[in-house]
Structure 1
């Protein structure tokens, strides 16, 4: 890591970004890159979202952008955020600010022209780094560069006060540790442990958002183990216990061996006991989507016997892969990942033509044919015709007897 200059990464040359900097007075020191883009560039990671902090008031930002012919969207005007829509993508421009009041869930802010004041309201030192858009000169007010070098996640100022301002920072502390960190700052870890019950005041959507991001981070298993040991989950997700961490560790190994991208819902399933009712309760509590809840429940349910292909056919490829990876069946998971799930080449009408009565009789016979088709490894249409003849003949004999 170059400790003094922002790397000349590709994202700094996005179309329109230099001009946006000129419009916002970067050459006069009025605007700087800030936050994740600076942090990730220093870590040589891909940068997706670009944020600019500015001394300009929000209304002035809108005026400057519109006069320059740049579309301005007031996405968070009360908090000073304007989105500048460039051809190469959006850039969030936020006026320097300081907190006036906080209640653990939201903040009231006032605007300022003091860079240090703006940095002081941010959560972690590694997120409070600024860079001159033109020269790449870095500005570090709270030792963020040293912490980034050490992969140390450290709150700015008093950790207890920062958590009191926004309780979500407890989960963010662990998420950043799982993504970037090797070293949790001891004071921050103690503060998160002491204030874990504050998580109960947060909306479940915010908890879910942070948790799902945490679960796909590089060191998720190690950090989740630390969270369980520290009782962080107890106030909001007491179902997550040490046994779940062991399953998560095994799943992470299986995902890596199978070349699978880490998946948050699959990893959440690993953390939960193998009980569909528990998964349903947790899914509802976290306000997951209906599709996510169904997948979570399926992943912890006893799965039907048969081949990996039979599992993927009955449950869908995604759930089939979930269950196989959770069971450590790496090669089986790989065998169905891109398997084109077939459709049975037979309809109920074809069974009626063979002499069955419409209704339950046809439905039962069709299920029997399908079960045999699956058990025989999904043979072709000619074989299906033979199976159908045999099943219908058996059904008709049963009716006569």
Structure 2
């Protein structure tokens, strides 16, 4: 019994030490006493702040409710930064706070305020149990707050794009041709599957890599090469590249290392959500996030650990513009482009999406 108690205590101590530190003006651990400072000041530095006292109270209450297996699961998720966070850590709500908020504040986002800022990831099974709360901080994603109006760096004028600089779903087509041509996901020769709700293509700069990946499950992980990961491995696509073998540019090789756990695309009741699981931000352009009155595309930055509703199923028309009698704009209004770690736009050296080292394009079925 004593041995099990010691093991449990060790797990709890490791979890407490692994918590995210606050800024210096609100540190969770007592600061070191400055040499020559009065003893009363030294005593004050060792007095827990109200925030720390509340968190200690929560910690004690939480750890008492978790069995050894749950403590190990929680520690494994925290230690691996979410790389090994498959299992839920479910508890019933207690005390005066939301356990999920405090856990995410302790181990991920010290500045988190309310539960409204959080959203369960598709991997969380506890979300289906209304009387339980998941305390695994990596089963939560932080909602990305869209700036309205967005900052200038996120806008880029469509008329400035040359045809060779456009992604395939942005190509122009003849006004007399009603068929969509150059769509990345169909290439004009693939039959739709009623069970598929989207297809994903991986791009490196202006070259598509590997085959198209059809998605017929509610959610799909898109990652580089995660051990035991299920979904679309971009590393695997590069091994079956259909173009002649050649060494990728250095910028591509560097950016591949930043994809990591990548993202999750999830089809939900209110649209399609993208959850950023990597350690780097991702940049999104979607027809449903564009301003219908603007002559510019918008690119939104989604930080690590955040999520964004990238497609509501109600795009703002087909975003068509006319130039010399030729319609210019996305061929498919249901196409979404996501770049890993690198943004693009007028304030970047990368003016177009095809200048981004690694990115994906998602073609969604016509909104239902």
Provide TM-score, normalisation by structure 2.
0.25
Kindly indicate whether structure 1 or structure 2 has the higher relative contact order, using CA contacts under 8 Å at least 6 residues apart.
Answer: 2
- Bigger CA radius of gyration: 1
Q: Which has the higher strand share?
A: 2
